[in-house]
Chains A and B, each alone.
Chain A
Amino acid sequence: NAGVMQNPRHLVRRRGQEARLRCSPMKGHSHVYWYRQLPEEGLKFMVYLQKENIIDESGMPKERFSAEFPKEGPSILRIQQVVRGDSAAYFCASSTTLGGEINTGELFFGEGSRLTVL
C-alpha cells in the first residue's frame, strides 16, 4: 500500500509564474489536507478537502491560492502569480474516518513539495 505521494518534490518558479503541487492520497483515503511549513516553523493548516468538495479552506489565502480534489486523479494545490513569500514546504496528508468521527482518522503525510520562488 503506497503512502501519500506528492510531486514534484522540488519546484523552482520565478515571481509571477504559477505553481501546481500534486498529492495522491493513500489508497482508500478520501480526505486530503494541505499544510504549509516555513523554514524553522511549524505546520500551518491551509485547506481540507473530500472528493470534489472543499470542506474547510480557512487557512488558505483568499487570493492566488486554490485547491481541488477531483473525482478522479490527485488533489492539486495551485498558486498563481507566485511571490517570494510563497517559498515553503507544502505538505499533503490524507486520512480515512473511523466510526464517522472525522478527527479520529490518523493523518498520513507525504514527503512534501518544496517550492522556491526566485
Chain B
Amino acid sequence: KNQVEQSPQSLIILEGKNCTLQCNYTVSPFSNLRWYKQDTGRGPVSLTIMTFSENTKSNGRYTATLDADTKQSSLHITASQLSDSASYICVVSATGGFKTIFGAGTRLFVKA
C-alpha cells in the first residue's frame, strides 16, 4: 500500500534554532518527492521537488534530502523565523499513473 509517514506530528522550537522534519514513504514506483509549506488558512506552497537522481535540494533556509534506497526524506530548516510556523507536508508521486500521496504533515511552531 502506498503510504507517506511524517514525523514528528508537531514540533515547537525557539526562533533562531534549526530543526529537521522527517518523511518515510512506501510509494512505488517512485517518481518524485515534494515538500510543501501550508500556512494556517492558506493553500500549500511548494518548497522543493526532488526526483530519483537527486539527493539534496535547497531553497533558501530550507534544505531537503532524499535517500531513495531507504525511502526517506528530511526537510532541514536553518535559523528558524516566526514566519516558519506552518504545516510542512511531504508529497510523493508514483510513475505510470496519477497517484500522488500526501503525508499528514508536521505542524511547526516557532516561538520568540
Contact = CB atoms under 8 A, between A and B. Distances in A.
Contacts of A108: 46
A104 B31 contact: yes
Contact of B32 (A33, A48, A56, A104): A104
A45 B32 CA distance: 17
B51 interface: yes
B1 interface: no
Contacts of B97: 102-103
Contact of A111 (B42, B91, B103): B42
A61 to B, nearest CB: 18
Contact of A106 (B46, B98, B103): B46
A55 to B, nearest CB: 6
Q: What's the interface size class on B, roughly?
A: 20 to 34
A61 B100 CA distance: 18
B103 to A, nearest CB: 6
Interface in B32-83: 32, 34, 36, 41-46, 49, 51
A112 B103 contact: no
Contacts of B43: 4, 91, 109-112
Interface of B is mostly: strand
Q: What's the interface size class on A, roughly?
A: 20 to 34
Given A104-B32, A104-B51, A45 B44 contact: no
Given A103-B32, A103-B95, A104-B31, A42 B51 contact: no
B32 A42 contact: no
Contacts of B31: 101, 103-104
Interface string B3-46: 00000000000000000000000000001101010000111111
Given A109-B44, A110-B43, A112-B42, A103 B102 contact: no
Interface of B: 31-32, 34, 36, 41-46, 49, 51, 89, 91, 93-95, 97-100, 102-105
